[in-house]
Copies of this chain bind each other. A is one copy, B any other.
Amino acid sequence: MDLAFTKEEIAFRDEMRHFFRNEFPEAIRRKASEGRHLSREEMVTAQRFLNARGLAVPHWPQAWGGRDWSSIQTYFYQDEMQQANVPSPLPFNVSMVGPVIATFGNERQKHEFLPQIANLDIWFCQGFSEPGSGSDLASLRTSAKRDGDHYLVNGQKTWTTLAQYADWIFCLVRTDPAAKPQEGISFLLIDMKSPGITVRPIQTIDGGHEVNEVFFDDVKVPLENLVGQENKGWDYAKFLLGNERTGIARVGTSKERIRRIKELAALERSGDQRVIDNPRFREKLAAVEVELKALELTQLRVVANERRAQHGKPDPASSILKIKGSEIQQATTELLMDVVGPYAMPYQPQFEEGWNEPPIGPDYAAPAAPTYFNWRKISIYGGSNEIQRNIIAKAILGL
């Protein structure tokens, strides 16, 4: 047991740190740090910048741009990227559909899609959730019927993040309605320009447009767009969902958020005191920092164990990353609300758009409430925290 990082590990971390803080385009980092949404163009720019330097898909097979890093290297890559406010490569591309194609796709699919996925030449969105099947994903009903050389797809997906930017969508569809819920599902790639697809925006309570409904009305999808075997899509979905074990805690993001909160709390005053000097605020903040430090160590334990058991049984500690990570991320949004106080109240979406009017209150206050509202999603999506607890109770605790 050696609880310090090795020299090599530290050198790698410092390399990542230097790159993300000094070489990555600063305007994008600043915008992210201020809690503002990035445009499609900025996200594409960011990913291509990384991809050009071999940093968009380091966890992929080496043949397709992977770096064969150790789990601790991958950890530093993610953590430093988050701490530097560098936007992560589009997860639907690099963590979801990319690995599925690389693992289960045929050679043609690999050659056609993987380079474009890595470079965000193709933007994918995810078509899993449906209105009737949230936590209970296996109850999905969007159907794909074979009809000559294509499938006819009908149904509806929802909570489709950034579908408005997407070129393609990867979907779970029901190809065998007679089979058991989990056995008649297939994994399809669908061009968003196909006739019969309609995207309807869902506005969320923060005022943003991040998610959408996607309707399929007799959409023709070539059979060759099936990934892997027909009716085996559930396995690929499980592979996809199980892929992301550690990044989900977003420890680096929370560290950076706390730094930002301290910075702003030193600007904001209450009476003759800076907010940062209020002992109650400091203690609230320190209590979150303690939980975050513990989570960071928990994550490192998981990372270190992954080295040994790459595809083995997950570490019990890994199961808590989602729950505690979401709680901490949400706590940071509440701390920022505390900092800006009454100036969380004005609704200032215009701060996104290069509006020229002066802000109401301090310029850093505008994103506080929208972020507090928006980040409530973190304990809901990707398997709500209640579902996580169900899973842990059964899989880890044997109850």
Contacts and interface: CB of A to CB of B under 8 A. Distances in A.
Interface in A266-294: 279-280, 283
Nearest to A278: B279
A280 B280 CA distance: 7
Interface in A170-199: none
DSSP majority for the A interface?
helix
A283 B284 CA distance: 13
A151 B280 CA distance: 65
Interface of A: 279-280, 283
A28 B242 CA distance: 64
Contacts of A283: 280
Q: Which 4 A-B pairs have the closest CB atoms?
A: A279-B279, A280-B283, A279-B280, A280-B280
A376 B172 CA distance: 50
Nearest to A283: B280
4 contacts: A279-B279, A279-B280, A280-B280, A280-B283
A285 to B, nearest CB: 14
Nearest to A279: B279
Contacts of A280: 279-280, 283
Contacts of A279: 279-280
A280 B283 CA distance: 9
A279 B279 CA distance: 9
A279 B278 CA distance: 11
A279 B283 CA distance: 12
A233 B279 CA distance: 58
A1 to B, nearest CB: 32
A286 to B, nearest CB: 12
A281 to B, nearest CB: 12
A283 B280 CA distance: 9
A255 to B, nearest CB: 25
A275 to B, nearest CB: 16
A279 B280 CA distance: 8
A30 to B, nearest CB: 36
A290 to B, nearest CB: 16
A304 to B, nearest CB: 37
A363 to B, nearest CB: 31
A393 to B, nearest CB: 16
A350 to B, nearest CB: 38
A40 B186 CA distance: 74
